[in-house]
Amino acid sequence: MMKKVQQGFTLIELMIVVAIIGILAAVAIPAYQDYTVRAQVSEGLSLASGAKTALAEYYNHRGSFPSSNSSLGLEAPGSIQGSYVSQVDAGATPGVIAVTYGGSVNDVISGAILDVSAITSAGSIKWTCRDGGGTKTLEDKYLPTNCR
């Protein structure tokens, strides 16, 4: 008698592989979405870096904070934009740079505002960032590490 040799995979083996892929996808997809939102938030900090430098220089020369972007030599708030940032306003609140998210940003943070605040102490400036309100709340998990 000839023995029949098994060819291919059994149904249970294929079901186990599909289940493992499903579990991995269930964990990986939300983690990747959080990562992409954090990357979009970091674009706002990059665009605010020029305003941070101008704000610190203005404060060091005058001892106070300006009331508009033009006082700092910056473009109007709506002119400072990126793929995920609709405006950067360094004059709405003295010592605070307000980064508003819009454009092709993830819906989770569309309309959110990140406030980058200057804290002065003995002539030096330390920067902090936090949710600034807006139509959406900017959760801590989306903030870059140096903002948490």
Locus of tokens 């592989």: 17
Which regions of 79-144 does DSSP assign to beta strands (E)? 85-93, 96-101, 112-121, 124-134
pTM comes to 0.79
The 10 Å Cβ neighbour count of residue 50 is 17
pLDDT tens across 31-65, in order? Answer: 888 899 999 999 999 999 999 999 999 998 988 88
Domains of the chain (ranges plus CATH)? 11-147 (3.30.700.10)
For residue 12, CA distances in Å to 21, 67, 116 come to: 14, 69, 55
Q: What are phi and psi of 13, to 5 degrees?
A: -65, -40
For the chain, how far is it from start to end, CA to CA, in angstroms? 72
pLDDT tens across 7-27, in order? Answer: 788 899 999 999 999 999 999
